[in-house]
Amino acid sequence: MSCMLSGARRWASTLARRRVIVSGIQPTGVPHLGNYLGALKTWTALQNEADPQDELYFFIASLHALTIPQNPKQLYHDRRNLLAALIAVGLDPHRCTIFMQDQVPQHAELSWLLMCQSPFGRLERMTTWKSKIATIQNSASEDHVNESQLQLGLFAYPVLQTADILMYHATHVPVGEDQQQHLELTRDLAHSFNRSVKKPFFPIPEALLSESKRILSLRNPEQKMSKSAPDANSRIMLTDTPEQIQSKVKKAVTDSEGTLSFDPASRPAISNLLQILAGMDGGVLQSHMTQEITEERKDPAFLARFLNEYAGGSSAALKRTLADSIIEELRPVQKEYSRLISEDGFLDEIERLGCEKACLRAQETMSQVRTMLGLHQ
């Protein structure tokens, strides 16, 4: 009996330590550098640092993409291209579950069930739908948008996002600075559901705050880097050639000060370039340093001081170092991406495997949810 109790304690202790991490990204096709540093590199690090008992679910949020108008053929290709990019940056489908959201119909079902418990006023206070409709209407301010054009899907998509997370009983969710409001809604709806069924069915997920900062446009540092920006020089795509990367970085706006410093409030353009450089792996920088690059030495403020000493504080030297760093880091990613796109059947198999694993977990969750709510099995 004592051996059985000891084994049970070890099993319970393992369960207590097990993390379930869930995160998604919208299918905009080939990612840009902001996507790479903001999400994809974080996902790869989480995968590589995960314990064997951890579960990781990374999905392409194709249902979320439909909250704004889409070209069906383009959306299909964008889904596939993003899937190839996820594998190319280092995600391993045998170590994490990578799947298409639209291939797991239980997401929409759970979203509806949670919507029935979602206060309208709470959704009305969410900020993301306001910023998206402002972008659609080309409005300079979120306070002057025409809400009569607001579609229900865009308004309620934070509830679908909640379903995405709770479906897999997530314990942790990687979030950036601008996503914490959504996670708070998820936590509140999980509490609400648990109270309604009188049991702690859904874990209350915790935030995994990403150390990477939001990457801004190379041409307008008041806006985030975006594929929808009209100026192609405002962003660096993961498939850009070395010549394109050098040209775009060279054209990036800076300022007229003679030295480098990291000050996002007063020097957003220079600070953005330093922030990108800090996100790179550091091989190019290491060749200029006598000491090993540590995380402290990858701090943007430290890099500014180093470049002031190494290159006289010129923005041109910063741009050269940055362009070389980006080219070096993306070279193996681009090689793998090209191989995946050209290899017949491989992405189909990845899709099939991810769908199978995600659906199995989702079916288990929804079977229990239906029982608790008195619905047909």
Q: Which residues are catalytic?
A: 132, 224, 227
CB distance 90 to 44 below 8 Å: yes
- Ramachandran quadrant class, 125 (left: phi over 0; alpha: psi -120 to 50; beta: rest): alpha
Amino acid in the structure at residue 375: L
DSSP state of 233: G
The β-bridge relationship of strands 20-25 and 55-60 is parallel
Burial of 128 (0-12, 13-18, 19+ CB in 10 A): middle
User: In the chain, what is the straight-line distance between the N-terminal and C-terminal CA atoms, in Å?
Assistant: 38
Tokens for 26? 């919208």
The DSSP 8-state label assigned to residue 216 in this structure reads B
Other Cβ atoms within 10 Å of 89 Cβ, number: 21
Q: Please spell the DSSP secondary structure of 135-175, one letter per residue.
A: HHTT-S-GGG--GGG--HHHHHHHHHHHHHHHTTT-SEEEE
Q: How far is CA 148 from CA 63, 134, 137, 155, 238, in A?
A: 22, 12, 12, 12, 37
Other Cβ atoms less than 10 A from the Cβ of 109: the count is: 17
CA 295 to chain centre: 21
Q: Provide the total of helices (H) and of strands (E) in the chain, helices listed first.
A: 16, 5
**Cβ distance 75 to 62 under 8 Å?**
yes
Positive or negative torsion for Cα 324, 327, 330, 335: negative
Please give the backbone phi and psi of residue 26, each rounded to the nearest 5 degrees, phi first.
-75, 145
Is 225 within 8 Å of 216 (Cβ atoms)?
yes
